[in-house]
Amino acid sequence: MRRSFRYLLLALLGGTIVVIDQVTKLSIMQSMRLHESIPIIPNLFSLTYIRNPGAAFGLLAGSSNAFRMVFFGVTSLFALVLLGTILFRLPEKDWMGQISIAGILGGAIGNLIDRLRYGEVIDFLDVYVDSYHWPAFNVADSAISVGVVFLIVHFAFEKKDVPLLPQELPPAS
């Protein structure tokens, strides 16, 4: 498959994640009040509109707006450059790795858009058992998480051709 076509498909995947992420967040913001919760599966899953000024699990939420904007701006740009570099360096036949990275990139861009527009990330997927809640998340967070898990599994089970050391080579005949 031509390299440019492959990158087009990967950009389409990442772009689709960004669009779905932004459309779902916009829908939540337009149809719900902040902190409103709508149970979907009782004692398990609700749509709950919150705004997270911090990182994953609310880390750094208490920091100043200026610090968070600089910190998240720099780390987001670093992550995007790193992911882009990894994507372009993966072997052409490594579809699983490429799809995983494209998903992570799409999620990272979706959350970066929120940070640039609102100074915080819109979260609304609330998973819990009775009163024990997992931190709320969104489509972008899901794409990042799934992409990271697939990448870890992929690299853990990837078969590599390991070159033999000189002392392991068969004797010359």
pLDDT in tens, 82-131: 998 988 898 888 999 999 999 999 999 999 999 889 989 999 999 999 88
**Helix, strand, or coil here: 53?**
coil
**Domain membership flag for residue 163:** no
Examine the residue annotation and report whether 141 is marked as an active-site residue of this protein. yes
> Looking at 21, 114, 123, 126, which residue is catalytic?
123
Domain membership of residue 130 as a residue range: 13-156
Question: Using one digit for the tens of pLDDT, what is the confidence trace for 30-43?
Answer: 999 999 999 999 99
Residue 123 lies in a domain: yes
C-beta separation of 108 from 67 below 8 A: no
Which of 120, 113, 101 shows the shortest CA–CA distance to 6? 101
4 inside domain: no
Q: Is the pLDDT of residue 169 over 60?
A: no
Q: How many domains does the chain have?
A: 1
Whether the per-residue pLDDT at 7 is higher than 60: the answer is yes
Higher pLDDT, 35 or 55: 35
Q: Is residue 166 in some structural domain? A: no
Q: Is there a domain that residue 167 lies in? A: no
Whether residue 3 lies inside any domain: the answer is: no
**R_g of the chain, CA atoms, integer Å:** 20
- From 21, 114, 126, 141, the catalytic residue: 141
